[in-house]
Structure 1
Amino acid sequence: MNDGDVVTMSKRGQWVNRVIGGEELSESFRSREEAVEAGRSLALQLGSKHVVLESEETGVITDEGEASL
């Protein structure tokens, strides 16, 4: 992937759009469908490529600050 490409992926129970080399443009969404649609639109605006990394939805949003047992 190149700078400016948009990647849609699951991260800690949420779906996120990450812009390679432009983290300030990254966003998170509750559903895969919302994230894919927004990622596709953002990539079109940026004139870049959109990639969806497939992952199972867990339905659980976790906080990386949670203590692990």
Structure 2
Amino acid sequence: MDHICEAFPVERLAELAGVSLKSIARLFVRELSVTPREFVEGVRLDRARNLLEAPDQRSRPLPSTADLPAM
């Protein structure tokens, strides 16, 4: 998840998986109990939390929310 701040549309994920947009959404909900958008938001929040909690990161500025692409 090194590129979590980059835009990665669900359409692209569906294309890479070789399924329809509707199918990828159903798969996420069935397997992970969240929508693709909720999954990405959760990963981003976890990343931000880890940055805030890391002692060696406290003196470094966090990426601004402006760095996050629209979902």
TM-score by length of 2: 0.35
- Pick the structure with more strand per residue: 1
- Pick the structure with more helix per residue: 2
TM-score by length of 1: 0.35
